[in-house]
Amino acid sequence: MAIANRVKSVVGSQEDAGSKIMRHAGLLSGQLQQLRTRMYPPRSEKTLRPFLTNEVSKLTSIPDSTLKLMSTEGRGPVPSRLENNHRVYTLAQINELRELFAKQKPVEALRFLPRRRAGEHLQVLAIANFKGGSAKTTTCVHLAHYLALHGYRVLTLDLDPQASLSALFGAQPEVDVGSNETIYAALRYDEAERRPIRDIIRKTYFDGIDLIPGNLEVMEYEHETPRILANRSSSGAIFFERLKLALMEVETDYDIVILDTPPSLGFLTLSAIYAATSMIITVHPAMLDVASMSQFLLMMGDLISVLNESGAQLDQDFIRYLVTRHDPNDAPQSQVVAMLRHLFGSDVLLPTAIESTAVEAAGLAKRSIYELEIGQIGRDTHKRAREAVDAVNEAIVRLISDSWGRT
């Protein structure tokens, strides 16, 4: 009896699984907040580095000599000076230069300011695959940064409850994103609590990019929609239209919307597919990942059939496969890539997202390759990674330009 009592006492003093998980979550959240404070002093907020004149010239096609002459004559935005006296511009100043030159040279306006024109539809691009680790979020953030650096107006939308995209934009989901501040606020069925999408859009530190952050709250849509459908509610019958209708409210404010979808084929992903005018399916070139993608495509095909039966028509400009985390020197990976190109032809983007220590290093610091300055990592490593990422993004931008009818 004495032994039994001692065992019962030990068991009673043990922490139950739920309490332990919540305690660990609190510890990790606190540690992440401390890391952010150290990474982004003094206000614990992300900031974007300035850009040297040679970088500005490459981004805007304005000659370096013209930028220096304008600075000397006091025309246009006034650049700051580094300790070595080199001129640097913020991204906001770069966009001022774009607008200035677009007005001065209206015939070449599109070259300086490539924003969509009258008659060009809002491009809503979904990055999808329900296999975790296929680099969806990495693809989203690099594409968003590339577009903003080249003068486009971008809205990024985090549909993933894990909220990695939000974190990369400096919004720690459990600290900085409160109740009714995710896309769920604009999609929810409760009329009294639903908010206009414009109210939940946030400016980011990256000029030209706005964000609708995510956190665990977005899962509420997955839980609420089946209940509405079970009740045969008329509002539930068009659940897949809610995201598309919400985006139409801010259609004039942006050129491109990027949807970071969750790694599942739930109601949010289905809504994203319906709202999208185009889709990039990311795939890591390993057989397990390809097998998973096969199931994803089969399931997506079935869901699209259901949408069609409901009277919904998917009208997408393009669907492409992007090979991610690719090591060109890995023979098995090369075989998988060759198989995908044989099966899908030009639907597989020619450039691939090369696996790179530079991209990994940037990710550890919650940055993209575009935010790293030369010198933070090896020059050659940075150059190779930047060229590979640029090639992928340039290919996507060409598809978007074609969808707008641009030559």
CATH number of the domain to which 294 belongs: 3.40.50.300
In the predicted model, what is the mean pLDDT of residues 302-317?
77
* Final residue of a structural domain among 72, 92, 112: 112
Same domain, yes or no: 230 and 87: no
In a domain, 24, yes or no: no
Residue 9: the pLDDT is 47
Per-residue pLDDT for 300 more than 90? no
pLDDT tens, 39-73? 555 455 788 999 999 999 999 999 999 999 999 99
Distance from C-alpha of 283 to C-alpha of 168, rounded to nearest angstrom:
21
In a domain, 167, yes or no: yes
Residue 34: the pLDDT is 67
Cβ neighbors of 155 (< 8 A, separation 6 or more) are 201, 209, 210, 211, 212, 250, 253, 254, 256, 257, 258
Same domain, yes or no: 80 and 208: no
In a domain, 381, yes or no: yes
Same domain, yes or no: 185 and 134: yes
In a domain, 26, yes or no: no
Cβ neighbors of 345 (< 8 A, separation 6 or more) are none
Residue 261: the pLDDT is 94
Residue 32: the pLDDT is 62
Residue 340: the pLDDT is 93
Distance from C-alpha of 122 to C-alpha of 124, rounded to nearest angstrom:
6
In a domain, 38, yes or no: no
Segments forming the whole domain that contains residue 55: 51-112
Same domain, yes or no: 273 and 242: yes
In a domain, 1, yes or no: no
Same domain, yes or no: 67 and 156: no
* Final residue of a structural domain among 68, 85, 112: 112
Same domain, yes or no: 105 and 148: no
In a domain, 274, yes or no: yes
Same domain, yes or no: 76 and 221: no
Same domain, yes or no: 231 and 372: yes
If one counts the domains in the chain, the total is 2
Same domain, yes or no: 275 and 394: yes
* 334 vs 30, higher pLDDT: 334
In a domain, 14, yes or no: no
Given the structure tokens 């509610």, which residue do they identify? 233
* Final residue of a structural domain among 64, 83, 112: 112
pLDDT tens, 186-225? 999 998 999 999 999 999 999 999 999 999 999 999 999 9
DSSP state of 122: P
Same domain, yes or no: 106 and 139: no
Per-residue pLDDT for 239 more than 60? yes
Residue 109: the pLDDT is 92
pLDDT tens, 80-113? 999 899 999 999 999 999 999 999 999 999 999 9
CA 212 vs. chain centroid, Å, equals: 10
Q: What is the CATH number of the domain that holds 74?
A: 1.10.1660.10
